[in-house]
Structure 1
């Protein structure tokens, strides 16, 4: 290697990295240092019921920090390409210069490869901890959803390969950080050449002779190759065993565009016997009611990762014609925009709109249409109808109470709906290991009777 020291007017001038470079360096460093112990803990804690919910939250934080590292790294590379770093000390040996440049290049590759392999993993829709499909949305610190990489849905091979590379590079990254810190301390304590002060503004820096030698292609390739070997080793070591035929059949998802069919009846979904007064085919004469949306709601609740959750639909409408004295002409149609489901957890909300749940892009509406009403005595009633979700009709019986005062009405109803009957999340969570199989639904409606024409 031909490294020449060029004595010029600036050769003994103390030099530091720019403020932007220093800020980016330490911001990325602190984020990476938080990620390694978090990652090691959460992959073990996610399988324990006592820590599952905390681990779930840690996974979401881990993903958000990973994307922050990716964005900051891209910015750091752009800044590095447009702003020359300070030169190395002139007393460094050739092999030390080579290793310094190779280490820096490896760090850049590491900071790009780690979040990218993590992105591949979450996009694959497969949990290697349980070796089952699991589709979870990615919300960046709860501010916005980051889309999955396309074409990787329920891809087991990609999941295992990406996580193998991710894990092995994490171990390599820990070693790389230790070597980097050791080298910085060597320069500061033993060599006393001011290298550490270049990145620490509060350290006093001495003017030193410098070696103005940019990073070479060979050192860069060496750094990239070292990381690539680690990634390939992780992929090879994490190759999964083939799934059994029974496991494949158990995880076979139902086709969402299949011909409409009634779901298997269950205790909370089966229609009541034919005691209800059937609605006539035409000529409904029951008065129309206008909903007060500010006082009305459709809410749902259940458990997720061992913790109770509550949600609501923010966008829905109803066409109601009801007369307790004339149930035969009473009818109602309620249309719910599934994309409006809110739980207060951006990751849950992002997952709900996905394919195996509501698939809101393809099936934006869930529609409940009554087929008849019956009185249970006093203010208690029951509405029989059909809930159509993802083009599949499911018979539903909704018990409710109704209080009417003059031209105003207050209704409250509740029921349980089965995820299995509605085919919600049954591909990734058929055994309800994550989300409760039964979901409670509560409906509250305040309405005003429309004026007669």
Structure 2
């Protein structure tokens, strides 16, 4: 029997299994202190910017663990593993296999509860909405779970508290399992000297295998081992998830936002009587600036169109209309770029464009002018004044202007950050235009 088992079972795990084991182990060990630190640091203004970046890394590593765990389970089911030493007592064999099952369950449950939490768009630290997109190491976006993301605000709040409660206590479950796992490995290596640790560390000797290998458990025992391990994780997650359920909101707290109304069509543009200009897109830009989590950012819109009629000698007949594709906003930060199209920011699904229309111009002396008009973002239209400079040489004009907007007046980010704790209320907009006289 022993000879047959030795033939069927390898002396060590395969190279793929060993690599997956250590990569996941290192990632999991890094995640625990990272999670503890950022949970406190995210609420402190001085460490908020760094905590935000750590939070994005934490999410990315979590998804890496999830993907590698699925791969590891598939590999485990399709490749034989070393048998346990024959000298191990029955209860030790049961505990060893149950612990392995618990590890697999935990490595699935931890990232899945984290995924559920970020999908709610709710911050338990402040108990307020906080819609933040998820990207994998800034390379590509990871969608939120739709059955959570599109739930009511009350449901998302409850799920957020339950998911975070389970997630944090599962981290403690991971610590318990790691201590048990490491302790058992050291016992086998230095007390039993049976070579179990060499299964996962190839450079170690095999040890004393004079007692042969443990017999394979019956199917009933095998299922009991798996259920015991999975039950350990499920009980922790469910128990603390339910315990973390928040009390109902107090009267006066924010209610769920009403569905957005369909945008009205913009009126057709009537040309001005002043000279028409053709904008050189390659030589022009519309940029925006502000701060996010205490760190300055600069972005720009990559797609926009402008119709301009302007003449310093015919300011009454001058006019400008700029239409911006808000979904083209880029900041160089994948998480920001994933969040901006959301419903509480630009809501690009309902309102794909923003529109600036200048209807009156005023000379300020020299090459300085001022355009008065309106800016529409989503369903909100506000009056704006844009000071700018205008210089022309040989039929080519260069224009530079800057204004400051209050995003709260434009209903931008009001569910997550009405107070400007994360994103500055003041957003600077800077335009640089190069244009040629038409005709």
For structure 1, which segment, 364-373 or 188-197, has the greater mean C-alpha deviation from structure 2 after superposition?
364-373
RMSD value, Cα: 2.0
Name the SS for the 2:363 alignment partner: strand
For structure 1, which segment, 377-386 or 48-57, has the greater mean C-alpha deviation from structure 2 after superposition?
377-386
Correspondence for 2:403 among 383, 403, 415:
415
CA contact (8 A) 2:276 2:309 kept: yes
Distance 1:40 1:147, change over 3 A: same
Q: Does 1:317 align with 2:315?
A: no
Aligned length: 426
Correspondence for 1:18 among 8, 14, 19:
14
Structure 2: distance between partners of 1:408 and 1:231:
66
Correspondence for 1:227 among 227, 233, 255:
233
Name the SS for the 1:8 alignment partner: helix
Alignment of 1:400-439 (within 5 A): 400-439=388-427
Distance 1:347 1:74, change over 3 A: same
Structure 1: distance between partners of 2:19 and 2:62:
18
Match of 1:156 in 2: 157
Match of 1:66 in 2: 62
Structure 1: distance between partners of 2:370 and 2:364:
7
Q: Does 1:43 align with 2:20?
A: no
Alignment of 1:92-107 (within 5 A): 92-107=88-103
Alignment of 1:8-407 (within 5 A): 8=4, 10=6, 15-153=11-149, 154=153, 155-206=156-207, 208=209, 209-213=212-216, 216-248=222-254, 253=257, 255-257=259-261, 282=270, 284-407=272-395
CA contact (8 A) 2:271 2:309 kept: no
Q: Which runs of no fewer than 5 residues in structure 1 stay unpaired? A: 261-279
Q: Which runs of no fewer than 5 residues in structure 2 stay unpaired? A: none
Structure 2: distance between partners of 1:7 and 1:378:
97
Distance 1:382 1:14, change over 3 A: closer
Structure 2: distance between partners of 1:309 and 1:234:
38
Name the SS for the 1:205 alignment partner: coil
CA contact (8 A) 1:168 1:233 kept: no
CA contact (8 A) 1:381 1:402 kept: yes
Distance 1:389 1:151, change over 3 A: farther
Deviation at 1:281, TM superposition (A): 8.4
Distance 1:417 1:449, change over 3 A: same
Distance 1:384 1:254, change over 3 A: farther
Q: Which digits, 9 at most, give the CA deviation of each residue in 1:396-436, with x for residues without a partner?
A: 22111111112011111111111111110001111111111
Q: Which digits, 9 at most, give the CA deviation of each residue in 1:8-41, with x for residues without a partner?
A: 3836987000000000000000000000000011
Match of 1:266 in 2: none
> Normalising by structure 1, what TM-score?
0.90
CA contact (8 A) 1:14 1:207 kept: no
Structure 2: distance between partners of 1:281 and 1:19:
67
Structure 1: distance between partners of 2:16 and 2:372:
65
> Normalising by structure 2, what TM-score?
0.93
Structure 1: distance between partners of 2:9 and 2:116:
46
For structure 1, which segment, 389-398 or 347-356, has the greater mean C-alpha deviation from structure 2 after superposition?
389-398
For structure 1, which segment, 287-296 or 334-343, has the greater mean C-alpha deviation from structure 2 after superposition?
287-296
For structure 1, which segment, 313-322 or 110-119, has the greater mean C-alpha deviation from structure 2 after superposition?
313-322
